[in-house]
Chain A
Amino acid sequence: MTNTTLETSSGIPSLKIEAGDVIQPLTPTQLIWRRFRKHRMALVGAVGIIVLLVFIIVGSIVIPESAANNTDLLHRLQAPTALHIFGTDSIGRDNFNRIIYGGQISLIIGALAVLLEVTIGTVIGGVAAFIGGWVDAVLMRFTEAMLSIPSLFLLIVLSKFLGHNIPTINILGRTFSGTVGIVILVIGLTAWMYLARIVRSNMLSLRELDYISAAKSLGASKTRIFFTHLVPNTLGIIVVSATLGLANAILTEAYVSFLGLGVQPPTATWGNMMEQAQSFMSQGAWWMWVFPSLFIILVILSVNLMGDGLRDAFDPHSVRHM
């Protein structure tokens, strides 16, 4: 019996092939998963995200929301103790509980904002590439115009515009300040530009490839080529951008709330905890800003690591030596 070892350059582990075996080719998804698994830091990132999610979900099951918003003026600005392991804030709320509930809001905002961003970016980029001509020109000029405004300036103008009259929202029996919705809209509406450009240029370059010419010569219509070839082949790029966009959205939420434009207290987010901490900096209340910052960094680091891994996994041409 002869054993042949197959080694490829794209990081696929060796396969033992025995004579007479029918070799099942790997599906693209399996190939992607294999490359992702090889990427050690990406796995670290994925584990980090899972740990954080478990922490937040279990935390919000064990600890009621009222504990996060419960004020206790007798124990305000307390350094970490056994009772309040992350200390208390300026009106005696427990920072540990607030980080759990703040994390919930921050992650929800991040996820929904990315969903909005990806939808807008993909539609605009896709439409520009599909229709072309003057529609493409108009959409791309608009995209460029939005990119020419410093992003925080655009965020501020937009959140002032949307933050006129804010209703409160009831979801799953919990009341959210309407500002949560506004922040999602603001982040989603100011972050789609890069994705739109990437989607468009990827589709345009795909269109020049031989297999598209082959499809054309077989008589495939423009619509068919778009939906069966261009869209699936752009999905990888979209997934990667969405992952990196999630890190960005969480960071942006922190900035927006830090400027006082975001979610309003008592609803906690990591960003507005930082904003409140700023006033008590000079009193040495380090625990007020250190803990929310650490969580922000942890989440963003994990998401970025995972995004990097996904980028390499989706791109079969990038041979990285780990």
Chain B
Amino acid sequence: MWTYISRRLLQALVILVIITGVCFLLTHFSADPMSQYANKQGMTAADRAIIAHSLGLDQPLPVQYVKWLWLALHGNLGNSFFSRQPVLTMIAQRLPLTLELMVTAEVFIIIISLILGTVSAVKQYSAIDNIITSFSFIGYSMPIFFIAFGLMQIFAVQFKAWGLPYLPTGADIWNPKDLGALIRHMVLPVTCLVIIQVAGYSRFLRSSILEVLGLDYVRTARAKGLSERTMLFKHALRNALLPFITIIGLDIPFLLGGALVTESIFAWPGMGRLFWEYAQRGDFPVVNGVLLLTGTAVVFFTIVVDVLYTFVDPRIRLS
């Protein structure tokens, strides 16, 4: 067990070095942060050299990378080129808002997919199963902006036109500390995220329940006279939920990255938008900081899920 965990941790470090290395390389060649000083009046080449030196841009790339990595290991992700704030502070400002949005969405996603997936598996080929399956197939094929635009058109644009109470789209300025405003602004983006994710999750859950229902031990449970309810909740679901828990576990670290498209449609000031705004300007300390954070979360969560899995399912041995 411990040798397994330590081996996995070692691999995780290798993966993180690859992630940061690749991203460092890509971001450094994708934009020149010095371009903002290119045509400034009264600025000479010497001034630009001083700025480049103070930002550490005049050093060879491997040196810059090692320096950045060394500082990152000490909890310093550097400063943004544009806002000049420490990257860690900027992330700390955005992370709570992203978590509020994503965790709320995730809770609804899990509850709704559990219900829909179970119902459509138990009532396989019934009218309700056909409806759920068709909708989840359509939902699975939809780009999120279609749902977002549709909801905005109905609940923001039309409701406003009809003089009904309408939901905000995020274009207005609001204070995230005001709970009422926060909830009102959350309704539309959360609904979008829920619709998209439930489509995939409930399909997945349906097929894993159906698979378990076909197994011999379920037949045994039925044969010894258990009620359908006991058989389902005490026997079948326990095993059917294992793969579902795994994919949720593996998806959780990605919540940190936020939902870039949803956040940008609804002007939600979360991590996705932070990344998007600063990536456009070539502000690579911010970009690399966000990537390092999400990468670390993903890599370590994978290990945690694998280890926890042995407790949930004793049949699995780590090797």
Verify A157–B143 contact, CB threshold 8 A: no
Verify A157–B146 contact, CB threshold 8 A: no
Given contacts A160-B279, A284-B161, contact A304 B137 (CB under 8 A): yes
- In the bound assembly, the distance between CA atoms of A32 and B313 in angstroms comes to 36
- In the bound assembly, the distance between CA atoms of A141 and B14 in angstroms comes to 8
Confirm or deny: A183 has a beta carbon within 8 angstroms of a beta carbon on chain B.
no
Sample of 5 A–B contacts (CB below 8 Å): A157-B291, A158-B26, A160-B280, A255-B261, A297-B146
Verify B27–A301 contact, CB threshold 8 A: no
Verify A281–B138 contact, CB threshold 8 A: no
Verify B143–A296 contact, CB threshold 8 A: yes
Stretch at the interface among A145-153, A192-200, A212-220: A145-153
Given contacts A258-B261, A301-B137, contact A148 B295 (CB under 8 A): yes
Give the chain B neighbours of A157 by CB distance below 8 A.
Answer: 23, 26-27, 30, 279, 287, 291
- In the bound assembly, the distance between CA atoms of A301 and B26 in angstroms comes to 34
Give the chain A neighbours of B285 by CB distance below 8 A.
Answer: none
Given contacts A148-B298, A148-B299, contact A160 B22 (CB under 8 A): no
- In the bound assembly, the distance between CA atoms of A286 and B275 in angstroms comes to 29
Q: Which of B246-303 contact A (CB under 8 A)?
A: 254, 257, 260-261, 264-265, 272, 275-276, 279-280, 282, 287, 290-291, 294-295, 298-299, 302
Verify A281–B152 contact, CB threshold 8 A: yes
Verify B22–A145 contact, CB threshold 8 A: yes
Verify B19–A149 contact, CB threshold 8 A: yes
Q: Which of B17-37 contact A (CB under 8 A)?
A: 18-19, 22-23, 26-27, 29-31
Confirm or deny: A170 has a beta carbon within 8 angstroms of a beta carbon on chain B.
no
Confirm or deny: B65 has a beta carbon within 8 angstroms of a beta carbon on chain A.
no
Give the chain A neighbours of B260 by CB distance below 8 A.
Answer: 150, 152-153, 156, 259
Within 8 Å by CB of B141, from A146, A161, A255, A300, lies A300
Q: Which residue, A153, A255, A304, has most C-beta atoms of chain B within 10 A? A: A153
Q: Which of A125-168 contact B (CB under 8 A)?
A: 141-142, 144-150, 152-153, 156-158, 160-161, 163-164
Verify B141–A149 contact, CB threshold 8 A: no
Given contacts A148-B299, A284-B157, A300-B141, contact A289 B261 (CB under 8 A): no
**Which residue of chain A lies nearest to B15 when distances are taken between CB atoms in the complex?**
A145
Verify B143–A251 contact, CB threshold 8 A: yes
Confirm or deny: A278 has a beta carbon within 8 angstroms of a beta carbon on chain B.
yes
- In the bound assembly, the distance between CA atoms of A92 and B226 in angstroms comes to 68
Q: Chain A interface: which size bin?
A: 35 or more
Other contacts beyond A148-B298, A163-B30, A259-B276: 8, CB < 8 A: A146-B22, A148-B299, A153-B260, A153-B294, A157-B287, A157-B291, A161-B26, A289-B149
Confirm or deny: A305 has a beta carbon within 8 angstroms of a beta carbon on chain B.
yes
Q: Which residue, B140, B161, B282, has most C-beta atoms of chain A within 10 A? A: B140
Confirm or deny: B11 has a beta carbon within 8 angstroms of a beta carbon on chain A.
yes
Verify A259–B261 contact, CB threshold 8 A: yes
Give the chain B neighbours of A300 by CB distance below 8 A.
Answer: 141-142
Give the chain A neighbours of B18 by CB distance below 8 A.
Answer: 141-142, 145
Give the chain A neighbours of B31 by CB distance below 8 A.
Answer: 160
Verify A293–B145 contact, CB threshold 8 A: yes
Within the complex, what minimum Cβ distance (angstroms) separates A204 from chain B? 15
Verify B143–A281 contact, CB threshold 8 A: no
Give the chain A neighbours of B11 by CB distance below 8 A.
Answer: 141
Within the complex, what minimum Cβ distance (angstroms) separates A176 from chain B? 22
Give the chain A neighbours of B299 by CB distance below 8 A.
Answer: 144, 148
Verify B291–A149 contact, CB threshold 8 A: yes
Within the complex, what minimum Cβ distance (angstroms) separates B263 from chain A? 11
- In the bound assembly, the distance between CA atoms of A70 and B21 in angstroms comes to 46
Q: Which of A47-62 contact B (CB under 8 A)?
A: none
Within the complex, what minimum Cβ distance (angstroms) separates A223 from chain B? 30
- In the bound assembly, the distance between CA atoms of A187 and B171 in angstroms comes to 30
Given contacts A145-B15, A149-B19, A301-B141, contact A293 B279 (CB under 8 A): no
Q: Which of A231-289 contact B (CB under 8 A)?
A: 247, 251, 254-255, 258-259, 274, 277-278, 281-282, 284, 286, 289
- In the bound assembly, the distance between CA atoms of A246 and B169 in angstroms comes to 32
Confirm or deny: B153 has a beta carbon within 8 angstroms of a beta carbon on chain A.
yes
Q: Which of A162-183 contact B (CB under 8 A)?
A: 163-164
Within 8 Å by CB of A164, from B30, B261, B265, lies B30
| Shortest beta-carbon contacts, A-B, top 3 | A160-B30, A145-B18, A293-B146
Give the chain A neighbours of B294 by CB distance below 8 A.
Answer: 148-150, 153
Q: Which of A287-310 contact B (CB under 8 A)?
A: 289, 293, 296-297, 300-301, 304-305
Within the complex, what minimum Cβ distance (angstroms) separates B199 from chain A? 11
Within the complex, what minimum Cβ distance (angstroms) separates B304 from chain A? 14
Verify B146–A149 contact, CB threshold 8 A: no
**Interface 0/1 of B169-212, CB less than 8 Å to A:** 10100000000000000000000000000000000000000000
**Which residue of chain A lies nearest to B143 when distances are taken between CB atoms in the complex?**
A254
Within 8 Å by CB of B153, from A158, A163, A286, lies A286
